Amino acid sequence: MPDPDRLALMLSTLCFLGAFAAAAYRVMVAPYRGTWPHHGLMLAGFLGQCWVLAIKGKELGRCPITQPWELLVFISWGVVMMYWLVGPAYRVSLMGIITAPLVWIFQVLALILQGTIPPQTGDSIFRAPAKIDPWLEWHATVSLLAYAAFALAAAAGVLFLFQDRQLKSGHPHRLIFNLPPLRNLGRGLVGLLHVGFILLTIGIISAYFMEKWPNALKLGASWAVWAAYLGILAYHWRRRWPQRRLAEVAALIFLLPLASLWIVSRH
């Protein structure tokens, strides 16, 4: 029998796979719209994530972002939060078709990474720190939510590019007519970049209120991500990038937050 956190993660991952299947089936037969099975499975998956994070949070006595697999679960949780909060605001039911597979991939990776951790002996190797720094918790949480928004923007960008390529061909596949319209996708993408950028700005600023500042490498990585997204948005504000170009950039630039996560989790 796996540990409760692993079991919860497995169940949650299965729910997201189911949600993806429900969304994919819907897209095969009709224009995409969130369906009850899809929403139900997304909710079940989300509850599973909360369960994992609650177990780990209790065990660690702090926000469970101490290892790469926890980071992935936390970002996945953030992605699903965006699905509930940002999706309806931008009238992009498209988030369902993007969110489920993205979260599923993240959580499969998390399960693999979690599986590589040697079994613990005796007491948990993770112990609650003597004192919790609320600014540290806030900084980490908000920054990871920002990364979740960037992840969704990247996935929206990939979906945009797929459809754009089909439409440009002059012989579009029938499937694309069941996917969200390009303009909605483009608007959702810009919205997510803004949400992510604002959250990241708040996250980085809050780092300076921490009792002990993060090391230079971590801060540098965060600032680099921030600067990259500022550059994209500034250019977009000034020149109005074509939607296709913005989709390409949003998809590619996400490698930067991914790399910075790797740095942050290693140091």
- The site for another protein (CB under 8 A) is made up of 29-30, 163, 167-168, 170-172, 174, 176-177, 180-184, 186, 240-246
- Cβ proximity to another protein, 174 vs 266, nearer residue: 174
Residue 182 CB, shortest distance to another protein, in Å, is 5
CA 198 distance to own-chain centroid: 15
Shortest approach of another protein to residue 222 CB, angstroms?
29
Residue 160 CB, nearest distance to another protein (Å)?
Answer: 11
**122 phi-psi bin (left φ>0, alpha ψ -120 to 50, beta other):** left
For another protein, the closer of residues 4 and 181 by Cβ is 181
CB closer to another protein out of 30 and 85:
30
Nearer to another protein, 165 or 267 (CB): 165
Q: Which contacts of 227-231 are long-range, i.e. CB under 8 A and separated by 24 or more positions?
A: 228/253, 228/256, 229/150, 229/193, 229/196, 229/197, 229/200, 229/253, 230/197
**Token digits for 122?**
């005796």
Query: With respect to another protein, which residue has the nearer C-beta, 72 or 249?
Result: 249
CA distance 73 to 107: 6
Minimal distance, residue 237 CB to another protein, in Å: 11
At its nearest, how many Å lie between another protein and the CB of residue 22? 15
| Two structure tokens written together for 118 | 């040697």
